[in-house]
Structure 1
Amino acid sequence: MSLPDRRQILMGAAATALTAGLASAAQAATPKDQLYALFDAFFDEDLSQSPEQATSLGLDTGKHADARSRLSDRSTAAWLRDRAEPAERIARLKTIDRKALSGDDAINYDTALFNYEARQGTSRFDFGDGARPFVLTQFYGSYISTPSFLDGRHKIASAADADAYLGRMKAFATVLDQETQRAGADAAKGVIPADFIVDKAIAQLQQFRSLPVEKNVLVASAARRAKAYGDYDAKAAAILTGEIHPALDRQIAALQAMRAKAVHDAGIGRLKDGDAFYAALLKIYTTTNKTPEEVHRLGLEEGAEIQARMDEILKKRGLTQGTVGQRMARLNTMPGQVFANTDEGRAELLAYCTERLAKLQPLLPQWFGVMPKTPVVVRRVPAYTEAGSAGAYYERPALDGSRPGAVYINLRDTAERPRWSLATLMHHEGAPGHHFQLALVAESNLPKLRQNMGFSANTEGWALYAEQVAMEMGIYDDGDDLGLLGMYQARLFRASRCVVDTGIHAKGWSREKAIAYMIETGGDPEVRVSREVERYCANPGQACSYKVGHTVWAALRERTKQRLGSKFDIKRFHDTALLVGPAPLTVLEGVLDRWQG
C-alpha cells in the first residue's frame, strides 16, 4: 500500500476518533453547543493545515505558534486529504439535529453544509486543485503567492521571527517541488493548461529566477526588516541560491517539458470530465444551480440592457458613431483621462482614488446604520506581482485589528485605469463594497470558521450591487456623466464575463474570440482584456459570480421592498443583509425572505 493511502487511513481514523469524542461529550450538550464545538474543531484543523492562514489572521500564537516557520503542505498526500475532507466534514455536521436549530444557529449550520457540499462537487475528480483545474498557471502557484506572503504577512519583530522567516524560505523550496510533482502527475493524465498559460507561467518563473540575489524580494525583505537581529540577508541569500533557485529551475524545466504537449484550446471542456468539472465550479462560484447555458444567456440579456443605457449617455455627449464599445474606447483619448505611466502619475492616481472614497463618506449614514470601524487604504499592487495579478482587488483586515482593509490597483499600465473608471472601482473594492462587507465580518462575533468562509457570488455580487448603491446615493449627480458611464461599463464588463467564461469552457470559444467579444462589447483596452480572459481560462467559473451575484442581490432588494411596502427601510435592509456575513445566495435569500423589517 502506498504512503498516501496509509496517510488517508490514519487521517480517517483520527477524524473518526474525534467525531466519536465529540459525540460522547455531546450527550449532555445541546445541538447548538455541538455545532459550535464542531466549528471550533474545523477551524482549528484549518489553521493547522494552513500556516499562511494562521499568520494572515494573526493567530499563529499559542498552540499554532509553530505555524510561523511553516508553509502549507502541497504534496500529493495533502491533496488526497483535502479531497476527502468535504465528505468527512459533512458526515460530522449531520450528526447534529438541524431541526433543533433556529435563527443565527440555523444560518451557520446551513452555510457550513452548503460550503462542504459544494466543495465535494470538485473533490470527486482526480485532477486539479480544489476549485481550480490546474496546479500551476500564470495566476496561481506558490511561486506567486509565497514571496508576497513572506514580505507582506510574515512579521519580523525579533530574532525568533527572523529565524521563522528563514524556516519558511526553506519550506518554499519544498513547496515548489511538491507543486512541480503534482503538476507533472496531472500532465500525465492529460491535464495541461493551454499553451499561452504555460508560456506566461514560464516567463514569470524565469523573471523571478533571474533577479539579482540582492533584489529578490525574499532577500530584500530580510535585509530591510531583520538586519537589527543579525546577518539574515546573507542567510536568506544562501537559502535562495542553494535551495530555492534549484527548485525554481526544476519547476521551469517541468513546465517547459509540459509545453511541448500543450494545446491552444482555451477551455477545460477539452479535458476528460471537463464539462462536469466546470458545472461543479459554477456551483461553487455562483452558489446557484444555474447551468452554463443559463449563465451565458443572462450575460447576453443583461449586457444588451446595459449597453442601451450607455448609448443614451454617449449620445448626449455627442458620441453617436460606432458601437458602444468603440465609442467607450475613444473616451480614453480625452484630455485628462489617463494618468502618466510614471511613478508620479501612479501616485496621482492613488491619491485620486483616496479622494473618491472620502467624497462618499458624508452620504453613507443615510444608507447604512452599521459601518466598519476599520479604515481602508488604497495601495499599488507590488511591482513584482503585476504581470500575474488581477486588475484590482480588496484585501480584508486582519482579525486581530493589526492591518487595515486595503484596495490594491494594478498600475503596470495606467492607461488601463482612466480617470472616469476609478470612482466605481473604489465603490466596488472599498466603500460601500468589499470593505463594508468583509471588514464587518472581521469585526463581527461570527464563529471564526464562518468569518473565514468565502462565497464569491455573495461578496462579488454585493460589491457590484454597491456600485449601483453609490450611483443611487447621488455620487454622479454633479454632472459626472463620465463617471456614470464608468459605472455602467464596469457592470457591462461583468455581464460580458458571464458570456465569455461560459463561452470558453462550455461552448469551445477560443482565447482570441473571447478577447474580441469583450473589446467590441465594452471598449476596454486590449491589454487589460487579454489578461482578464487569460484569467478566466486559468480559473474557470469565478468570473461568473459577479453578475450572477449582483442580479440576485438587486432582485432580492426589490422583492423585499414589494413585500414590506411602507415598512421597507433601506438602512435596515442593508444592515440585516450585511450582518448575515459570508453565506451562499440561497441562505441569504432565505434570511431576507423571512425578514419582517
Structure 2
Amino acid sequence: MTRITTSLTRRQALAGVGAGVSLVALGGCQRALSATAASAGPATGGQTGAALLEDVAYNLLAHEPERATGLGVDTGVHAALRAQLEDQSPAGQRAYAETLRADLARVRAFDTATLDADTRTSFEVVESAYSTALDGFALPYGDVAVGSWRNSPYVVIQNVGTYIDMPRFMDTTHPVRDAADAQAYLARLEALPAVLDGELARIRDARAMGLVPPDFLLDQAISQMEQTIAETAGGGTLVESLASRTREAGIAGDWRGQAHALVSGPVTAALRRQLAELRAQRAVATPEAGMWARPQGDEWYAWGLRAATTTTLSPDEIHQIGLDELAALHGQMDPILKEIGYTRGTVGERMRALAEDPRYKFAEGDPGRKEIMDFIHERIDWIKAQMPRAFNTLVDPNLEVRRLPLAEEPGAPGAYGGAGSKDGSIPGRMWINLRTTDLHRKYDLADLTYHETIPGHVWEGEYSNRLPLIRSILSFSAFSEGWALYAEQIADELGAYDDFKVGRLGYLQSLAFRACRLVVDTGLHHKRWTREEGRRFFVERNGSKPDEVASEVDRYCSWPGQACAYKIGHSEIARQRARAQAALGDAYSFRAFNDAVVLGGNAPLDVMAKNVGRYLERAG
C-alpha cells in the first residue's frame, strides 16, 4: 500500500477577470472553506451521510495509520494510530481488502437521493476508489494504492517499499513534540521489522508464481538497500531524527540509545533479509521491461491504466492520443524555436541543442544547488501574488521546499510535491532532486515549480484538506496530476513567460513530455518496447535530457500506467473548460471555472465532469 501515504489564448482564459479586481496579498484574500457539506442528508439506519463518510475514513486509516499522521488526525480517540504502522503481510492486506469490501457495501446501500450535491459527490468518490482498489486486491500480486497514486506490481523495488518510505516519513512527518510522540516513534521502530518481513513474504510469494522485476530495477534496488543497511547499521536518519528532535524539544530520556538498539539490531536484520531475497530475484531476472513479460501482466496493466486514468481507454487508444498530442504541441514549439534562432532539425533535435546552451544551465555542485533553491522560491513568490486573478476562493498554503534524501535521489524523478496535513501542522512540500544540477534548466524549472507547488499539487491539496476526511485521504492521479498540468497552463496564461519566450518552450516541452509518457508507458507494457527504446523516444522526439529520462523510464517499469494519468487528466480538464466557455459565452468566468474544478475536490474524471455540469447549471 502507499504509505506516508485544448489550447486557449491567454485573453480567452482570463475572460471574466475584470479590470476592477483588487490584486491584494494572498493571505488577506483567504476565505474559509467548509469542512463538511452544508447538508449531510437525513439519517439512514440511524446514521447521516456525513457520519457514514467519517466512519469509513477512520476504518481506512486503521489499516494505514501513517496516513492518519500525515493528515494530522491521529489525535484524541484516534491517538493510538500514531504508534502503529500498516500491516504489510499477506494476511494484513487481505484484512484491508475485507474492510474496503464491507464499507463499499455500506456506501452503496445508503440512500443518497436527498443528499446535497457535495455529499453525493463524496459518496461517488468513495465508490469509485474502493471498487477500483478491490479489483487490484483481486490480482495475484502487487501493491495497491487505495485512492492514491503509487500502484505497483512490485512490493519492494527501486522506488517502492518501506525501506525507502520510512526514513523520510519518520524524519519529516511523524511529530516529536513531547514524550508521548517520542514513545510513539519508538513503537513504530519496534513494529518496523514485522512490516519489512510482511513485505518479504509477499515478494517471495510473487517470485514463486513467476513474478520477478526487470534486472535493471533490481540492480538499483539492491544498491539502494545496501546503502540503507550501511546507514541503519550505524543508526542513521531513523536514530538521529529522534535524538535531535527530543534534544531540541527538551524531552528527557535516552532516546538515542533506545532507537539505536532497535534500528541497528532488528530493523537492520529485517532489511538484510529483504536484501537476500532481492539478490535471489536478481539471479533469475531478465531485462524485459514491460508487464507483457510478467504472469497475468496484460490483466495487471489493464487495471493499472484504469486505476491511473479513471477511464476505460485501451493501451492502443492511449498510445495514439500521445502521438497526436505530441505532434500538436511540437507544432506550437516550432515557431518559438525559430524566433530565438534554432531553425534547423526536428523540434527534438533543437530542444536538445537548447539544453546544452550554457545560458540556461545552473552551476555545478552546491553553488548550483543554492541557485536552484533561490530560483524556486522566487517563482513561488511571483505566482502567489497572481492567484487572486485566477481564483475567487483563495487559500494560503503552509509550504516548504526540500531536497530529496540522498538515498532516494537515484531512483526518483526530478521533483514531486503534495499538500500538508489536514490540521496544518505539517507543511505542503516540494521535494527537489539535486543529485546533479544538470537535471534542471532555467527554462523549465519555473514550470516544474508551478506544477509541484502553486497552483499545482500543494495548492490543490489545500482545498481537498477542507473537505470531509475521506476526501482528504482519497486522491486520483488523473485529477491531481491533470490539475498540476493545468496549473502550469494557468501560470502561462497569467503571464509567467511573457518576457521569457524560452520559458514558454520549457512549459510546452513539459506538456509534450507528458504526451510522450502516454506513448512510452504503453510502448513498454503493451507494445513490447525495450527500456532503451523508451529512453530514446524521449530524447530524440522531445529533446528531453538523458539524465532525466533514465530514471523516468525506470519509474514507468515499476509503476505501470501511472505516467498516463497526467496528460489524460489535463486534456479532460481543458475539454471541460472549452465546454464551459461554449455553454456560458460572455458569462464565462476564468476564476469561477477554476473554483468549480478545485472546490469539487480530487475526484475521478467522470465525477469532476459532473461537478462542472452543476457549475454550469448554477451559472447559466
Q: Which runs of 5+ in 2 are unaligned?
A: 1-39, 145-150
Partner of 1:379: 402
Distance in structure 2 (CA, Å) of the matches to 1:453 and 1:31 = 25
Partner of 2:425: 402
Structure 1 residue identity aligned to 2:61:
L
Distance in structure 2 (CA, Å) of the matches to 1:99 and 1:65 = 35
In the alignment, structure 1 residue 469 sits paired with structure 2 residue 490: yes
* One of 429, 446, 471 as aligned partner of 1:450: 471
Structure 1-normalised TM-score? 0.92
Could you tell me how far 1:276 is from its partner in structure 2?
Answer: 1.6
Count residues in correspondence.
569
Is contact 1:125–1:277 with CA below 8 Å preserved after alignment? yes
Is contact 1:214–1:220 with CA below 8 Å preserved after alignment? no
Q: Which runs of 5+ in 1 are unaligned?
A: 1-25
Spell out the pairing of 1:100-115 with structure 2 (5 A cutoff): 100-115=114-129
Partner of 2:59: 45
Distance in structure 1 (CA, Å) of the matches to 2:138 and 2:87 = 20
In the alignment, structure 1 residue 578 sits paired with structure 2 residue 598: yes
Is contact 2:369–2:437 with CA below 8 Å preserved after alignment? yes
Distance in structure 1 (CA, Å) of the matches to 2:443 and 2:109 = 54
Partner of 1:166: 186
Distance in structure 1 (CA, Å) of the matches to 2:405 and 2:157 = 19
Partner of 2:90: 76
Is contact 1:31–1:97 with CA below 8 Å preserved after alignment? no
Could you tell me how far 1:27 is from its partner in structure 2?
Answer: 13
Partner of 2:291: 268
Partner of 2:7: none
Partner of 2:442: 419
Structure 2 residue identity aligned to 1:184:
R
In the alignment, structure 1 residue 317 sits paired with structure 2 residue 340: yes
Distance in structure 1 (CA, Å) of the matches to 2:93 and 2:232 = 34
Structure 2 residue identity aligned to 1:348:
E
Q: Would the alpha carbon gap of residues 156 and 459 (structure 1) be closer, same or farther in structure 2, given more than 3 Å must change? A: same
Could you tell me how far 1:307 is from its partner in structure 2?
Answer: 1.1
Distance in structure 2 (CA, Å) of the matches to 1:301 and 1:322 = 20
Distance in structure 2 (CA, Å) of the matches to 1:308 and 1:103 = 41
Could you tell me how far 1:69 is from its partner in structure 2?
Answer: 2.1
In the alignment, structure 1 residue 364 sits paired with structure 2 residue 387: yes
Is contact 1:371–1:436 with CA below 8 Å preserved after alignment? no
Structure 1 residue identity aligned to 2:159:
F
Is contact 2:235–2:263 with CA below 8 Å preserved after alignment? no
- Secondary structure class of the residue paired with 2:402: strand
In the alignment, structure 1 residue 96 sits paired with structure 2 residue 110: yes
Could you tell me how far 1:410 is from its partner in structure 2?
Answer: 0.7
Partner of 1:565: 585
**Higher normalized contact order (CA 8 Å, seq sep 6+, divided by chain length):** 2
Is contact 1:369–1:575 with CA below 8 Å preserved after alignment? yes
Distance in structure 2 (CA, Å) of the matches to 1:334 and 1:28 = 64
Could you tell me how far 1:358 is from its partner in structure 2?
Answer: 1.5
Could you tell me how far 1:517 is from its partner in structure 2?
Answer: 0.7
Distance in structure 2 (CA, Å) of the matches to 1:544 and 1:311 = 25
* One of 378, 384, 390 as aligned partner of 2:413: 390
Distance in structure 2 (CA, Å) of the matches to 1:285 and 1:488 = 23
Structure 2-normalised TM-score? 0.88
Distance in structure 1 (CA, Å) of the matches to 2:143 and 2:574 = 33
Partner of 2:374: 351
Q: Report the identity percentage.
A: 39
Is contact 2:63–2:87 with CA below 8 Å preserved after alignment? yes
Partner of 1:591: 611
* One of 345, 352, 375 as aligned partner of 1:329: 352
Distance in structure 2 (CA, Å) of the matches to 1:367 and 1:240 = 48
Is contact 2:309–2:565 with CA below 8 Å preserved after alignment? yes
Is contact 2:329–2:512 with CA below 8 Å preserved after alignment? yes
Spell out the pairing of 1:431-446 with structure 2 (5 A cutoff): 431-442=454-465, 444=466, 446=467
Distance in structure 2 (CA, Å) of the matches to 1:470 and 1:258 = 46
Is contact 2:485–2:566 with CA below 8 Å preserved after alignment? yes
Could you tell me how far 1:157 is from its partner in structure 2?
Answer: 2.2
Is contact 1:70–1:167 with CA below 8 Å preserved after alignment? yes
Is contact 1:156–1:225 with CA below 8 Å preserved after alignment? yes
Could you tell me how far 1:170 is from its partner in structure 2?
Answer: 1.8
Could you tell me how far 1:272 is from its partner in structure 2?
Answer: 2.5
Structure 1 residue identity aligned to 2:62:
S
- Secondary structure class of the residue paired with 1:465: helix
Q: Would the alpha carbon gap of residues 115 and 320 (structure 1) be closer, same or farther in structure 2, given more than 3 Å must change? A: same
Is contact 2:397–2:459 with CA below 8 Å preserved after alignment? no
Is contact 2:214–2:285 with CA below 8 Å preserved after alignment? yes
Structure 2 residue identity aligned to 1:582:
N
In the alignment, structure 1 residue 175 sits paired with structure 2 residue 191: no
Is contact 1:371–1:440 with CA below 8 Å preserved after alignment? no
Distance in structure 1 (CA, Å) of the matches to 2:502 and 2:45 = 55
Deviates further, 449-458 or 92-101:
92-101
Structure 2 residue identity aligned to 1:327:
R
Could you tell me how far 1:214 is from its partner in structure 2?
Answer: 4.8
Spell out the pairing of 1:48-59 with structure 2 (5 A cutoff): 48-59=62-73
Distance in structure 2 (CA, Å) of the matches to 1:588 and 1:212 = 44
Q: Would the alpha carbon gap of residues 243 and 366 (structure 1) be closer, same or farther in structure 2, given more than 3 Å must change? A: same
Partner of 2:510: 490
* One of 258, 265, 280 as aligned partner of 2:281: 258
Could you tell me how far 1:332 is from its partner in structure 2?
Answer: 2.6
Distance in structure 2 (CA, Å) of the matches to 1:454 and 1:576 = 17
Distance in structure 2 (CA, Å) of the matches to 1:288 and 1:31 = 34
Structure 1 residue identity aligned to 2:268:
H
Partner of 1:200: 220
Structure 1 residue identity aligned to 2:276:
A
Deviates further, 87-96 or 194-203:
87-96
Could you tell me how far 1:213 is from its partner in structure 2?
Answer: 4.7
Partner of 1:157: 177
In the alignment, structure 1 residue 555 sits paired with structure 2 residue 575: yes
Structure 1 ranges of 4+ moved more than 3 A: 30-34, 83-87, 98-102, 212-215
